[in-house]
Amino acid sequence: MSNLRIAVQKSGRLNEDSMRILKDIGISIDNGKDQLKASARNFPVEVFYLRNGDIPQYLKDGVVDAAIIGENVLIEKGADIEFVERLGFSKCKVSIAVPKESNANSLQDLDGQRIATSYPETVKKFLKEKNIKADIHIINGSVEIAPNIGLADGICDIVSSGSTLFKNGLKEIEVLLTSEAVLAVSSKISAERRAILEKIQFRIQSVLKGQN
């Protein structure tokens, strides 16, 4: 019988909760994060530890069958990827923020200005919808520093506790979307592996029900 290949974030905010939910549904994985791949002892599952941003492409290519991933990453990099379950953790917003002394109160107010972000496709989508033009500067991390160093007038990034915005003297002016971890599925998954995934999904639903 073939194993279901499921991707989880290698390191970062989702990793711990992703591993916990697998444990909660009775899938025990031997190793820590040092290995990039690990098999479950008691279930036909292999776990792949990958970089968040790479996971959508792996799903599209069918290199992995499923993934625990932030909805925000799917929206940015894999809008056409199906997800079958919301997992209730890693809740965050993807928001527009500006220096607290700025007069801008919405994305509209950044028309013609510069926005720094790690979420260019998401920003472009909203700019297009609202018929706004702005210069997008792509930064892979520490986006909140951009206005302070004169690189941008506003930013678009993940807001969780809000502490990074606060520490950098920024204020949130518009929430583009809200997100949480989801169980995403490759369109190339085989029927045999889909059946394994359905078992996992069933167990996840029981665990989530128990938490409410």
Mask for 123-162, x = binds ligand PRP (CB under 6 A) = ------------------xx-x------------xxxxxx
Question: Closest separation between CB of residue 12 and ligand PRP, Å?
Answer: 6
Amino acid found at 100: K
Which of 94, 183 has the CB closer to ligand PRP? 94
Other Cβ atoms less than 10 A from the Cβ of 149: the count is: 8
Which of 65, 157 has the CB closer to ligand PRP? 157
How many residues bind to ligand PRP according to rule CB under 6 A?
11
Angle formed by the axes of helices 13-24 and 191-211, to 10°? 90
Which of 13, 194 has the CB closer to ligand PRP? 13
Which of 85, 157 has the CB closer to ligand PRP? 157
Q: Which secondary structure element, helix H or strand E, spans residue 170, and what is its range? A: strand 170-179
Classified as helix, coil or strand, 51 is coil
Contacts of 123 (CB under 8 A, 6+ apart): 115, 117, 134, 136, 156, 176
Determine, following the binding rule CB under 6 A, whether residue 210 of this chain makes contact with ligand PRP. Answer: no
**Residue ranges binding ligand PRP (CB under 6 A):** 141-142, 144, 157-164
